[in-house]
Structure 1
Amino acid sequence: MNHRLEQIVKRFQQRPAAWEIADKQQLNGIFQRIAAKSRTAPPVVKMADYLGAAARELPVRIQEYELIVGSDIYEIDCCCEYGFFPNGGHYSADYRLPLQVGLGGMIARIDAIEPSTPETATNRKAMLHAWRSLSLLIERYADEAANLAEQENCRDRQVELRQIAENCRRLILDKPETFHQALQLTYFIQIFLHLEGLGSNSMSFGRLDQFLYPFYRRDRQCGRLTVEQAEELWMCFAEKVSYCDCSQNLVLGGYDTNGREAGNELSCLIMRAQAAVKMRQPSLSLRVTPQTGDEAWAAALTLAAGGFGMPSFFNDPVVIKALENTGAEKTDACHYAIIGCYEANVQGCTYGQTTALELSLPAVLLDFLKERQARQFDDFDTFLAAWKQFFIERYEQHYLPGYQLIRERYATQSASPFLAGILADCGHSGRLPEHYGAKYNWFGLNILGFGTLADSFYVIKKLVFDTGAFELAELIEQVRLNFPDESFYQRCRNLPGKYGTGNPESDELARGLSGFIAQVVLPRKLNHDVQLSPSLFRFLSDVYAAEIPATPDGRRLGERVSYGAAPTESAGATPTSLLRSAANLRTDLYANGTPISLTFPPELLADATGRRQTRSLIEAFFAQGGFHLQLSLQDADILREARACPEQHRDLLIRISGHSNYFVVLDDTLQQALIERAALGR
């Protein structure tokens, strides 16, 4: 295994290979040819034709050390020019179903659909074409492996190639029988989901430890598989999924539908193997329950000690409650996946589009101050009530109509016939996910700048209404002019007791705001009963904030806004005060995510004492109501060194929310933000 591990790491560090570039160019050529030929056809027909052509024509390549085969090349250039629109990704399909019934079973299930309209008849035909195309691709890999085996001189590799050929031959139509075959079919499905996504990402695996465990257990019981062999197979799988999509989340453990801890031996094996191979994907997350065992905690903290941000930790009782509050049935909510970074969806049932929409809280506040600046307010409660009414009006009159148009674009210009086969209820009705066919039709609403909003209100409360240090009009003018008065700026920026410091007053203000915003969003659905699922984050918008004007919390134009559900960087929060404040929010109303990230020195998890303390910190945060915690072990000085000498730190992996990547490939703005936040412990 050590030799193969060396080969995996070496191969990944040398990418992209010339053949990868050539294959991407060929895929774009296939797409352009199909798109140009069928401009007037329905999107679902065009997509099925494209998938079929890709399955027939893309080269099949098997590298010399691979045990899991296939090539996941999913970037398509300029697809919108041809009337194709990506499906947006950010979902978790039902991987369990094809593992249980095989491709033959999937094709039979789709063939049994009784179309109720001409549209569903067209969809059924396209779905059949898509799934038969995957079967064709697997057959081509079976033939290639068999041919290579005949030419191979190394006896050991010849045996491996014959096994790969046998695996693929079975998977053409039959359901997998072994752990190796189940893992291989999962990867083939992922290839097709990415092809169909046309450059979309975050097709997340969800509860793969649960789906693969029966195969692993059976192989172990009959002596067909050792632990070491299973770890090796996982490392090969991790390498394959690390080539493209940087946010393929995979959750481990958590409750089953009976409220019992479902973590198993495979959950821990996956964490151990990921710690050894150090691949950036899949992005692992641990669903934590009060019954999560010592072995799972040990494996998770050992993985975390690697310093590349895995796993993320999620509080099962709170996440499940948040999903129920969004409209999921209890049994479905227990079966959740984390999508992309930290967005919870019911796996295999939800067309979630978890990052589809955005709302900037600083923008709404600034619009309110601009439009109501001449009005006099007797006290802070009156001021806050006026803003809340403004927020409702702005949300209903401006944001909701825009959100409706975005959702309708997907319904008319995107189509996912392959995904439809493994998303309830699409696979029974013949309706596409884009056409509101899924059991849960949700749309993610990413809300930016919660900490900035909370601190802005706290500054207004304390300095305008409580102490009378400033007039409201004076503060509004300073904000409008980007704080030309330095002393005024410092007074706002450094006001003690902001959100995140454990101050009961600011914590209660933040809790009220979090509850109010969610209770505005959740009842107001789009057409076709589409439920908006709110989150307190917008990926990277907190960093790329150059166009966001100054805000009353003491933040100037272009400075970063608050990240996720965390306080502002100027709040002076400690890790414990930050977690205490964040746990007080209405996290049970934000199934789409309320992320908190902490950065600690790398030596924290170097010994048993540090790991025990870290576990206690996470458990205490979750006991108080926290939703999610991301731990990173980074040294700001090491990051500075990597920025100055990238050639010496090519393998420095870092996790930004759920996105795992190498630090040296990030742009200057993001690198600087990560350095400064690491210095702050964020």
Structure 2
Amino acid sequence: MKRKNSKRINNLREMVVSTRPEICPERAVIVTKAYQEFYNQPMGILRAKALEKILSEMSIYILPGELLVGNHSSKLRAAPVFPEFDVNFLEKEMSEFNKRSGDMFEIDDENKSKLAEIVPFWKGRTIKDYNHAMWTEENKLSGQNYVNVIDNEWNLENSDGHISVDYPKLINFGLSSIIFDAKKKLSLLDIAEPEELKKKYFYESVIIVAKAVIKFAHRFAELAKLEALNENDPSRRLELERIAEICGRVPEFPARNYYEALQSLWFVQLAIQIDGNGHSVSIGRFDQFLYPFYKSDIASKTLTEDEVFELTQMFWIKLSSLTKLRSWSQTRLNAGYPMFQNLTIGGQKPNGEDACNELTFLCLDVTESLKLFQPTFTARVHKQSPRKYLKRCTELIKQGLGMPSFFNDEVIIPALINRGVEVEDARNYSMVGCVEPGVQGKWGGRYGACLFILPKCLELALYDGKDPRTGIQLCSGNGDLSTFTSYQELFDAYEKQVKYYVRQHVIRDNIQDLVWEKYLPTPLISCLVSDCMERGKEIKEGGAVYDYTGGQTGGIANVANSLAAIKKLVFEEKKITGAELKKYLENNFEGIEGEKVRQMLINKAPKYGNDDEYVDSIAREAFSVLLKEVSKYHNTRYGRGPIGGSFHHSTASVAANVPWGMVTGATPDGRKAYTPLADTESPTHFTDLNGPTAIVLSASRLEHILESGGAILNLKFSPIVFENGENLEKLIDLIRTYFDLDGMEIQINVISADKLRNAQKNPEKYKDLLIRVAGYSAYFVDLDPLIQNDIIERTENMLV
């Protein structure tokens, strides 16, 4: 039964959708004062006291009609600023934030002045500064503004995130239990021992942040009491009084019902965002850990189904109220104001039974009712998933939400076990970013590692290791395209470049983790991740049960199609020589002859995405070079307690395929220089000619068992397809087929190119048109036109 939104929900949703993002300097000013005041404290204590000061002094407010309270900044959808990460882009772009072609932010002169005043303090003291100072010369030249195979600049401007803390522990025991535990552990330390002394500062920092969040909640309790006294509407007065009661209780103490559990969860989710500016601070298995509260409240009639529904809508709206400021270069990689707050439903219980319940379906109903871009919404699927569940998921897809995305338990669980995760924990995974799996409350590694441009490695191999755009040669090649005498020589040259730049990627990321460990302790996150409290260690010191570092890549189709074209047309059929092809690549296929060669490369060589074993096997082998090579390396937590301590990769390339293409020359698949690369592990635009079944058959041949960092496969369908109700059943069968063939993830847009073009021309009419970008959905009109065009050009599939 489809529920109608209440008036208050429609009002709150409209506020979020209609409010233009601004920049709020409040946090930046307060954190600067905290660093000046507590500069002589151990860094963990300094960071804890900084959060305490922010939560104590920042503006708070309660929106009209809302039942869940807690704000991110001084205004709705205003982005707080985190100067401890980077201030250079603030200086350079301050006057451009409201002129961007996408992801615009308003900022007035007064707020510009406030930010300008704090910039000098941070010069040379930011996370980005510390990282840059530690890079070797070749490490620097490997990345952005140079050869550009690797890029971790996006994470130097932001915190790590990619985490789902132990919200079940929080709502069932409260922060008071963590304070009690920390005090007890403090009392048992012998601080004459150096390691015990380090633990002392950790436990003290935990107590400070836990008390700070409790005090933050109490501030809202007092505000609600004050507003209740001045409220003329009796029903709203009662709501405010209840808000005051709840905020006086949670997150300090265990939640007693669904309402308190949601408010407790939101306060800590919010505090983590305010503290660290992390990407992908995720919710976890919402329908599992909140189900006991839901079930009890419904049974006892503490809440009705409609009240649970409205409260859950409130939580979705709260998640959508957050926004994040990025530099323009990093905005192009993460277009559409994404926060990546992933919420996971369905899948299996730790004992292997199906996990679907009434709350699972309620979450689907809420997502359908609001059509918001947050939370990023994930549906786990396994062989015993009910058809009813899959049908409901695809009904949302039909409406063009781009959500939920589908993840295959039958591949992800073995992939995690393959990395050392215990079976019960692997079955309990949730998404902690776009598509990255982790175990809630036990996962301390990070997925925000280097972006790795795989097609760039192939380009370097074709030019003897020299970047044709910059002339820089860091890894000498094995010759160039004019000198290779066999396909194997070419592949060996490609493999050599991949291995070299994987090493640079690992060095950069381990430098980043050393910097974060020293300058960016996270006691609030750490106290809610096992076994940090037991070990007396921060996450970055090795406190978590599991720890892996994951990077992102994409453009697999470009690499596969390029290698296949050279193998077939140069070495097998000898339609063109390597020297001739190299000349046409260097000239970007200019002229009549160049265009003829380009068309030959496009039309006479096999293309990934068409169920062609010839090219699909090349895709598998070329991608596996990266997957296998990166797993040989250790991160900075290796040997310090956690299981794992290694690197792994995903194809969560966000919107980076467009800017990646801007630094990659013409490629042998017929792609012209500096145009977008293929996204994720999806086919190149206009080359997948045999329909969606062929696409999933091709993608299924990749070694997903090695891709424990997560995978993305984008599909796009015309809405006309689903005018026939039977085609929803065919879509379910397509997803099942892909997953039976060991595919890992699939996400689906149902939208016409014509509608998207109309939205480009008339954005005011399409302000809440949702579109799946990569591992997240965003409002189409918020995207930079280059990203919009890339989405428009994705193949529109039919189901036959």
Pick the TM interval, shorter chain.
over 0.9
Structure 2 contact 27–82 (Cα < 8 Å) conserved = no
- 1:248 is aligned to 341
- Paired residue type of 2:237: Q
Q: Distance in 1 between matches of 2:793 and 2:159?
A: 35
- 1:665 is aligned to 782
Deviation at 1:413, TM superposition (A): 2.2
Structure 1 contact 448–564 (Cα < 8 Å) conserved = yes
- 1:296 is aligned to 389
Show CA shifts across 1:625-676 (max 9, x none): 1100101111111111111111111121222123332111111111111222
How many residue pairs were aligned? Answer: 676
The reply on whether 1:532 has 2:647 as its aligned counterpart is yes
- 2:38 is aligned to 38
Structure 2 contact 251–263 (Cα < 8 Å) conserved = no
- Paired residue type of 2:687: A
SS of corresponding position for 1:332: helix
- Paired residue type of 2:314: C
Residue in structure 2 matching 1:307, options 379, 397, 400 = 400
Residue in structure 1 matching 2:417, options 324, 345, 348 = 324
SS of corresponding position for 1:677: coil
Q: Distance in 2 between matches of 1:493 and 1:174?
A: 63
Show CA shifts across 1:380-432 (max 9, x none): 23432453345334534x44333322222222222111101111121222211
The reply on whether 1:139 has 2:144 as its aligned counterpart is no
Show CA shifts across 1:507-546 (max 9, x none): 2222223333312121222343231121124222212221
Q: Distance in 1 between matches of 2:218 and 2:612?
A: 63
The reply on whether 1:75 has 2:80 as its aligned counterpart is yes
- 1:512 is aligned to 621
Q: Distance in 2 between matches of 1:59 and 1:391?
A: 49
- 1:178 is aligned to 257
Q: Distance in 2 between matches of 1:383 and 1:9?
A: 55
- 1:612 is aligned to 729
For residues 82-97 of structure 1, the aligned pairs below 5 Å read: 82=122, 83=125, 85=127, 86-97=158-169
For residues 454-473 of structure 1, the aligned pairs below 5 Å read: 454-473=560-579
CA change 1:495–1:355 in 2 (3 A) is farther
Structure 1 contact 268–295 (Cα < 8 Å) conserved = no
Structure 1 contact 361–448 (Cα < 8 Å) conserved = yes
- 1:8 is aligned to 12
Show CA shifts across 1:326-377 (max 9, x none): 3322222111111221111222212232122122211211222222335854
Gapped regions of structure 1 (runs ≥ 5): none
The reply on whether 1:674 has 2:791 as its aligned counterpart is yes
- 2:311 is aligned to 233
Show CA shifts across 1:454-509 (max 9, x none): 11110111011111112222223322332232211221122342111111111222
CA change 1:450–1:129 in 2 (3 A) is same
- 2:209 is aligned to 130
Structure 2 contact 652–774 (Cα < 8 Å) conserved = no
Q: Distance in 2 between matches of 1:457 and 1:319?
A: 29
- 2:177 is aligned to 105
- 1:192 is aligned to 271
Q: Percent identity?
A: 29
Deviation at 1:306, TM superposition (A): 2.6
Deviation at 1:378, TM superposition (A): 4.5
Q: Distance in 1 between matches of 2:439 and 2:759?
A: 39
The reply on whether 1:61 has 2:61 as its aligned counterpart is yes
Q: Distance in 2 between matches of 1:456 and 1:176?
A: 57
Residue in structure 1 matching 2:658, options 525, 528, 543 = 543
Q: Distance in 1 between matches of 2:126 and 2:490?
A: 47
- Paired residue type of 1:11: M
Gapped regions of structure 2 (runs ≥ 5): 74-78, 88-121, 128-157, 190-194, 324-338, 465-477, 639-644
Deviates more, 1:182-191 or 1:162-171: 162-171
- Paired residue type of 1:240: K
Q: Distance in 2 between matches of 1:424 and 1:202?
A: 19
Structure 1 contact 598–631 (Cα < 8 Å) conserved = yes
Show CA shifts across 1:264-310 (max 9, x none): 11011011011112222111110001111133223312222331211
Structure 2 contact 25–80 (Cα < 8 Å) conserved = no
Q: Distance in 2 between matches of 1:141 and 1:393?
A: 53
- 1:381 is aligned to 488
CA change 1:9–1:401 in 2 (3 A) is closer
- 1:562 is aligned to 678
TM-score (norm 2): 0.81
For residues 126-525 of structure 1, the aligned pairs below 5 Å read: 126-171=205-250, 173-197=252-276, 199-245=277-323, 246-371=339-464, 372-373=478-479, 376-396=483-503, 398-484=504-590, 485-525=594-634
Deviation at 1:151, TM superposition (A): 2.1
Deviation at 1:179, TM superposition (A): 0.3
Structure 2 contact 376–776 (Cα < 8 Å) conserved = yes
Structure 1 contact 253–262 (Cα < 8 Å) conserved = yes
Q: Distance in 2 between matches of 1:201 and 1:657?
A: 15
The reply on whether 1:644 has 2:761 as its aligned counterpart is yes
Structure 2 contact 170–251 (Cα < 8 Å) conserved = no
Q: Distance in 1 between matches of 2:52 and 2:711?
A: 40
Structure 1 contact 209–266 (Cα < 8 Å) conserved = yes
Deviation at 1:103, TM superposition (A): 1.7
Q: Distance in 1 between matches of 2:217 and 2:722?
A: 43
Structure 2 contact 688–695 (Cα < 8 Å) conserved = no
